């Protein structure tokens, strides 16, 4: 294979080698979160199984036990919700990572096919100019060298090719676009939008604690707390 073709392919393959570790790390964390979710589910079952098991205790003891049970349940449910958010974030990041490599490959393949056809075009140009004197021969040679230089500098870090979007894919956020990159869910259970892109809401990392979108924040400021679903 021509070295001018082989070098760009080698660069892309080296870049592709970085994909597997990225996905492996994300999937490993998802597996850890899945195991924790099963453990939390078992905890919920054990706590719920204690309901009604203290018939002989005083009303105060029953009330205290009920409050403690409720506190434990809410803590576990909050942890499970955070784990679900993190899993969705990891899944979305993995999808976007693979999608970026696919776009890079499409872009590179297009340039690669152009590169394959370039030598044939140059050959035809040289044959056509062979009987036109030294000046035309020199010009054809310079054109071939220029094409070779352009091929040599081929890189795969070019802008991504726009890919068609499935019209049936759901949209989110203020921008009404499909899911991509990192996303965050509004903690208002009745939020009409629910999911938002980090870049659209000015986030660079997942905030701690509860997070509300601007619409729900406005409701809170007006004294209307986000209500739980019926």
| Residue numbering of the annotated binding site for Zn(2+) | 173, 175, 186, 191, 197, 200, 213, 216
Tokens 């499970």 label which residue?
Answer: 80
Residues placed in the known binding site: 173, 175, 186, 191, 197, 200, 213, 216
Q: Which residues are bridge partners to 183 per DSSP?
A: 197
Query: What burial letters (b/e) apply to 22-32, b meaning 16+ CB within 10 Å?
Result: eeeebeeebee
Closest CA to 37 of 49, 48, 29: 29
DSSP codes of every residue in 183-194: EEE-S-TT-SS-
Would you say the C-alpha torsion 64, 70, 73, 79 has a positive or negative sign?
negative
């Amino acid at each position: 294979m021509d070295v001018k073709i082989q070098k760009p392919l080698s660069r892309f393959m080296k870049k592709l080698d970085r994909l597997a570790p990225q996905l492996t790390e994300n999937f490993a964390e998802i597996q850890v979160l899945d195991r924790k979710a099963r453990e939390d589910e078992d905890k919920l079952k054990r706590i719920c199984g204690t309901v009604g098991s203290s018939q002989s205790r005083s009303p105060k003891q029953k009330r205290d036990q009920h409050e403690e049970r409720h506190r434990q349940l809410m803590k576990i449910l909050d942890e499970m919700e955070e784990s679900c958010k993190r899993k969705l974030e990891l899944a979305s990041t993995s999808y976007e990572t693979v999608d970026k490599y696919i776009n890079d490959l499409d872009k590179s393949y297009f340039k690669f096919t152009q590169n394959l056809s370039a030598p044939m075009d140059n050959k035809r140009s040289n044959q056509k100019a062979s009987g036109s004197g030294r000046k035309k021969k020199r010009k054809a040679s310079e054109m071939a060298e220029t094409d070779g230089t352009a091929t040599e500098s081929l890189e795969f870090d070019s802008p991504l090719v726009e890919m068609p979007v499935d019209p049936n894919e759901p949209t989110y956020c203020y921008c009404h676009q499909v899911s991509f990159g990192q996303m965050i869910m509004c903690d208002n259970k009745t939020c009409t939008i629910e999911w938002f892109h980090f870049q659209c809401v000015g986030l660079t990392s997942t905030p701690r604690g509860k997070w509300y979108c601007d619409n729900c924040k406005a409701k809170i400021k007006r004294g209307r707390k986000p209500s739980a679903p019926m």
